[in-house]
Amino acid sequence: MNQVQNFTKGFIKDNPVFVLLLGLCPTLAVTSTAINGLGMGLATTFVLVMSNIVVSLIKSQIPDKVRIPSFIVIIASFVTIVELTMQAYVPDLFESLGIFIPLIVVNCVVLGRAEAFASKNNLGSSIIDGLGMGLGFSFALTLLGAVRELFGSGSFFGMKFIPGDAILVFILSPGAFITLGYLIALLNRMKKA
Return phi, psi of residue 115, to 5°.
-75, -50
Q: Which domain holds residue 23?
A: 3-192
What confidence score (pLDDT) does residue 47 get? 97
What confidence score (pLDDT) does residue 137 get? 94
Q: How far apart are CA 65 and CA 50, in angstroms?
A: 23
Confidence of residue 1 (pLDDT cuts 50, 70, 90): low
pLDDT in tens, 20-29: 888 888 889 8
What confidence score (pLDDT) does residue 128 get? 93
Reply yes or no on whether the pLDDT at 70 is more than 90: yes
**How far is CA 161 from each of CA 92, 147, 152, 169, 193, rounded to the nearest angstrom?**
22, 14, 12, 19, 33
What percent of the chain shows pLDDT beyond 90?
A: 61
Confidence of residue 2 (pLDDT cuts 50, 70, 90): low
Close Cβ partners of 76 (under 8 Å, ≥ 6 residues apart)? 105
* Count: domains in the chain: 1
Residue 24: which of 183, 132, 189, 187 has the closest Cα? 183
Q: How far apart are CA 39 and CA 29, in angstroms?
A: 13
Which residue type sits at 16?
Answer: P
Average pLDDT on 36-64 reads: 95
Reply yes or no on whether the pLDDT at 35 is more than 90: yes
pLDDT higher for 45 or 165?
Answer: 45
pLDDT in tens, 87-138: 999 999 999 998 999 999 988 899 999 999 998 999 999 999 999 999 999 9
pLDDT higher for 49 or 7?
Answer: 49
Kindly report the average pLDDT of the chain as a whole number.
90
Reply yes or no on whether the pLDDT at 154 is more than 80: yes
Q: How far apart are CA 4 and CA 117, in angstroms?
A: 16
Q: How far apart are CA 118 and CA 130, in angstroms?
A: 9
Q: Which of 84-88, 111-115, 165-169, 184-188 has the lowest mean pLDDT?
A: 165-169
